[in-house]
Amino acid sequence: MRSARSVATAFAALLLTPLALSSAPTSFAQADGHPGPATVVPLGTPLADVLLIGGTVAPGPDGKPALWNVSTGKPAYLNAVDPVTGASLVSAPLPGADGSYAVAAAPDGTIYVGTYNNGHLYRWRPGAGNTAEDLGQPLAGQGFIWRVTTDDQGNVYGGTSPGGQVFRYEAATGAVRDYGQVVPGQPYVKSIDYANGKIYTGSLPDAHLAELDPVSGVVTEIPPPTGLGDIQDKSVYDLNARDGRLYVRISTAFPGPLFVYDLATRTWVDEIPAAHGLDVAPPGDDGEIYLIQQSELKRYDPATKTLTGTGLTFTGRVQNTRPIGWAELNLPDYPGKSIVGTLWRGEMFRYNPQTGKSAILPTAVRREPIEILSLADGKTSVYAGGFLNGGLSVVDPATGAATFNRFSQLEAVLETEDGKVWLGAYPEARLYSYDPAQPWSSPEYAPGPPGTPDNPKLAVNLKPDLQMRARALAEVNGKIAVGTVPEGDRLGGALVIHDPATGTTQVNRNVVQDESVFGITARKGIVYGGTSITGGLSTTPPTRTEGAVFAWDVAHSRKLWETAPVIGEGTVTSVVLGPDGLLWGVAGKTVFAVEPKHGKVVRRLTLGSTSIGGDIVATSKALYAGIDGARVYRIDPSSNRPPTVVVEHQHRRLALRGDRQLLLSQGAELFRVDLGR
């Protein structure tokens, strides 16, 4: 997920700290000659859903096995669910944390959680009810704890980014030991587990597997599996130590090969294709391992290296366990021990090996508001796309009434002249077309009744072109232009031109060499774009120092010009064609204007104090630019009046509705700004 999925460092600066707000409208006076007072109207939180990532099966408050998970939100919550009824047993807030991949149980029943984006370690102790302790940030500067594990004494080990470090938290004393970067040059310890006195880690962006002696601190690399090939740009996404073996999945959030390593002989002994993450179950009484493989729960016999289907199948784009383990349910058709687990949207599953009985059932895990990542206006509605949890909400801009549709993380949304809505999704930089007049039915995320046509419908998947984020959308002569960010540890986004009439797609990689395309607009067959020097994960140093603007002739498939508008600013976050015919954009704290025929910069306005760039939109008379994530300026290009602050309000995204209204998002909240007359 993104994901999950991880959150790229390149985008961290765009995540703004929420500001406490009143629910009452707020007015702001304008300068003389400008329309006057603007009013900010709260429209509520249009997006809410369940997203579970990290988890474990461990004793709950009553000592019986429970399904432990962290639900993503602000704050995230540590949840324990009864695997028999789905009822909530624990719902403990984790203040300051957005979510977690990292949940582990100590031998005494204590639950530890490592989180993002604050990189803290939390602890829930038996008897604590709905309260978890914040143990602080084990390693300064490490904003992500990707996975945690515990040893026989209850000490906790965690893997981090951006330093690629491992730490130990001593349960008895609270002392922290920093083992440093495990594999030189690898900024992510993506997976970790403990076995027989050793710590095993897997890295990203290259698939290094390492063994750490927690006493001496000595690290020994384990050779990669035979047949894997080049380990570059691959990830040890999951790693489980089970009964003398390591189960190492080298993939992404989606299915990939699961390799089996024998710790006694120190050899790779098997490969299971198309395995789903995020974990395999602890061994059963006969040493058997359960996992999801090719969309079905399978029984794996490590002695004979055979897989046996159970008949329990999973659908949708993401079919990962979060977590998977054993529990006695004492239910009819579920005698003895059963396999239990949760799925990413909060459902739980169970399977009994004796009877073959299985089920997928709802749970009481609470829905959390979803941060708005993309925002767009339409003829009658406003569209809000969700970050990480994903989803698309269709919002009434007058009342804030919203219809939520479960979907992928949405980087960009665009309604075209024909009323169709285009969705730019993460990961794999996918482009979908959605008809809001027809029922929503997504086979990947939220299928409708049997026989319902796909809506949204997948038009483009740019994974083969090594692209990850469909970051920006624009309509150009009936075609859809897409600006993208590359996947993984690489530089170089793309400008993609998709023709819905013919179904053809042209991918133009490195329109600006080694830069991602963050914002686009179009007029008369020309696409204008703004770029960033960053890549997919920001683990590769940029080769350039400034973000650029460019012009692309769609009919002749060629770049007309390229300009770096602001020296020292690495990202042009947004571009728009102004009422004066110039191309306007935002780069950090500077708003600039470019003559669109030749790309000459004709105006620069320094309005902010930080390099947190924002969106810029244009009416028939003025431009509105979000600066510092805290103010929106009105710029009148036809006059010599200086830019004026329209509204002071924390925000992430800015969109325009007609000439008299703006839309702002702050975290999960949506606001309408009435500009007055």
* pLDDT given at position 26: 39
CA 424 to chain centroid, in Å, comes to: 13
Burial of 216 (0-12, 13-18, 19+ CB in 10 A): exposed
* pLDDT given at position 540: 79
Among all chains, which residue has been given the structure tokens 């179904």? 503
* pLDDT given at position 537: 77
Residue 571 · residue 534 · CB < 8 Å: yes
CA angle 508, 511, 513 (to 5 degrees): 125
Question: How far is the C-alpha of 347 from the C-alpha of 365, rounded, in Å?
Answer: 9
DSSP 183-197: STT--EEEEEEEETT
* pLDDT given at position 612: 85
Cβ contacts of residue 284 below 8 Å, gap of 6+?
290, 326, 337, 353
* pLDDT given at position 35: 54
Instruction: For the chain, list the domains and their CATH numbers.
Output: 50-361 (2.130.10.10), 368-674 (2.130.10.10)
SS (H, E, C) 445-494: CECCCCCCCCECEEEEECHHHCEEEEEEEEEECCEEEEEEEECCCCCCCE
Strand ranges of the sheet holding 52-59, from the earlier edge strand across to the other edge: 52-59, 65-71, 76-81, 88-94
* pLDDT given at position 25: 40
326-373 residue pLDDT tens: 999 999 999 999 999 999 999 999 999 999 999 999 999 989 999 999
N residues, the chain: 677
Instruction: Report the run of H or E that residue 591 belongs to, with start and end.
Output: strand 590-595
Residue 167, both tokens:
């730490």
For the chain, what percentages of helix, strand and coil (3-state, to nearest 5) are there? 0, 50, 50
Residue 285 · residue 353 · CB < 8 Å: no
Please report, for residues 42, 154, 537, 610, 645, the alpha-carbon distance to residue 150 in angstroms, rounded to integers and kept in the order given: 45, 6, 29, 41, 53
Mapping DSSP to helix (H, G, I), strand (E, B) and coil, where does residue 500 land?
A: coil
* pLDDT given at position 677: 62
Closest by Cα among 498, 570, 569 to 527: 498
* pLDDT given at position 5: 31
Q: Where are the alpha helices (DSSP H) in 5-155?
A: none
Among all chains, which residue has been given the structure tokens 């086979």? 443
* pLDDT given at position 6: 33
Partner residues linked to 55 by β-bridges: 69
Among all chains, which residue has been given the structure tokens 């529990």? 327
Residue 99 · residue 76 · CB < 8 Å: yes
Q: What does pTM read for this prediction? A: 0.86
SS (H, E, C) 344-367: CCCCEEEECCCCCCEEEECCCCCC
Question: How far is the C-alpha of 590 from the C-alpha of 598, rounded, in Å?
Answer: 21
Residues of the chain with pLDDT under 70: 1-36, 538, 677
Closest by Cα among 55, 664, 626, 69 to 366: 69
Question: How far is the C-alpha of 110 from the C-alpha of 94, rounded, in Å?
Answer: 15
Cis peptide bond upstream of 205, omega within 30: yes
Instruction: Report the run of H or E that residue 223 belongs to, with start and end.
Output: none
Mapping DSSP to helix (H, G, I), strand (E, B) and coil, where does residue 12 land?
A: helix
Q: 296-301 and 653-657: which strand pairing?
A: unpaired
